[in-house]
Amino acid sequence: MKRLNRRSFLKGGLASGVTAAAVTGSVGKADAAGDFGGYPDSMGVLVDLTKCIGCRTCEAACNKEQNLPAPDKPFTDMSVHDEVRHGGLPRRTSEKAYTVVNKYEVEGREHPLFRKVQCNHCQEPGCLTSCFVNAYTKTPEGAVIYDPKVCVGCRTCMIACPFYIPAYSYSSPINPVVKKCIMCYDTRLKFGRPPACVEACPQQVMTFGKRKDLIDLAHKTIKSRPSLYLDHVYGEKEVGGTSWMYLTSQDAPFGEIGFDTHLGKQPIINYVKEFLAIVPMVLTIWPALFTGFHLLATRKEAKKNDESVS
């Protein structure tokens, strides 16, 4: 399984005291149109938001497939759509829910629009490029997976993700890890099977296939009903492209349904490079401190366990 080169830049940075000069110039393979190669035959999912009815069947399927704890409210309880977090924000993914479906009332639109949220499995993932212990991997199949055994819980990936996806596992304070959708990699994707949420959806909101074929399908779908669809495939270009892409209707533009429409076409690492050029010490010192705290806590716990056994 190939790992992206830029990971070793950042990983190496911890060991050797990375300099801004070393990071600058490491990445940025966009062509003139802002396209990134990634794995050309990787798989993806096209989500047609115009079809979603907010039934939460996908949430239930994910919960079962990933052996997650029971939700706070049953999957049949639609009152979750009216929940708002601090600051009026809709629900977000968590250690107990790798996907959530949120409801958006859009002015001038008769019915609400429902939007499923999960990791978008970026072509050039910010989580991966920011992780100094190399916990993340972009697989040739398209999934961005991670190794919880390597994760030190520093939360750098949570900051780096442009979609606020990695969730902190508060239930595991001694061995802190982040958790997120892995595109059902272990149980399905690596065997060529669609993710559980995709298969379970009663409205066929999601189409699983090769990313490049899904881009063609998306544009054909838009052309087939130009009065319904907005002429924009979200994720085709954003942050260098994502494996999960979205269609919406003209009366519910992406900016009105919680998508960040100001992300640009460059992968997040390009912005990180600029940041590091200004404050390179942040990368070298901050993760090292986290690592130190983590190892200290782990050793303390191990010692406590040893003492209680003896």
Enumerate binding residues for ligand SF4 (CB under 6 A).
52-58, 61-62, 65-66, 98-99, 101, 114, 116, 118-122, 125-127, 144, 161, 163, 165-166, 180-184, 195-197, 201, 203, 205
Rounded to a whole number of angstroms, the minimum distance from the CB of residue 156 to ligand SF4 is 11
Q: Which is nearer to ligand SF4, 67 or 308 (CB)?
A: 67
Chain position carrying tokens 């190669």: 37
Q: Which is nearer to ligand SF4, 96 or 219 (CB)?
A: 96
Rounded to a whole number of angstroms, the minimum distance from the CB of residue 273 to ligand SF4 is 16
Q: Which is nearer to ligand SF4, 9 or 98 (CB)?
A: 98
CA dist., res. 247 & res. 260, Å (int): 14
Tokens standing for 127? 């989580």
Rounded to a whole number of angstroms, the minimum distance from the CB of residue 292 to ligand SF4 is 25
Q: Which amino acid is at 49?
A: L
Tokens standing for 2? 């190939």
Q: Which is nearer to ligand SF4, 165 or 215 (CB)?
A: 165
Rounded to a whole number of angstroms, the minimum distance from the CB of residue 131 to ligand SF4 is 9
Q: Which is nearer to ligand SF4, 32 or 202 (CB)?
A: 202
Rounded to a whole number of angstroms, the minimum distance from the CB of residue 284 to ligand SF4 is 22
User: CA dist 230 to 80, 89, 221, 224, Å?
Assistant: 27, 24, 10, 12
Rounded to a whole number of angstroms, the minimum distance from the CB of residue 181 to ligand SF4 is 3
In this structure, is the dihedral angle defined by the CA atoms of residues 13, 17, 20 and 24, taken in order, positive or negative?
A: negative
Q: Which is nearer to ligand SF4, 99 or 249 (CB)?
A: 99
User: CA dist 264 to 205, 208, 236, Å?
Assistant: 26, 25, 11
Q: Between helices 268-278 and 280-309, what is the axis angle to 10°?
A: 100
* Sheet hosting strand 244-247, strand order edge to edge: 206-210, 43-48, 244-247
Residues whose CB falls within 8 Å of the CB of residue 135, separated by 6 or more in sequence, listed in order: 146, 147, 148, 150, 151, 157
Rounded to a whole number of angstroms, the minimum distance from the CB of residue 161 to ligand SF4 is 3
Q: Which is nearer to ligand SF4, 17 or 34 (CB)?
A: 34
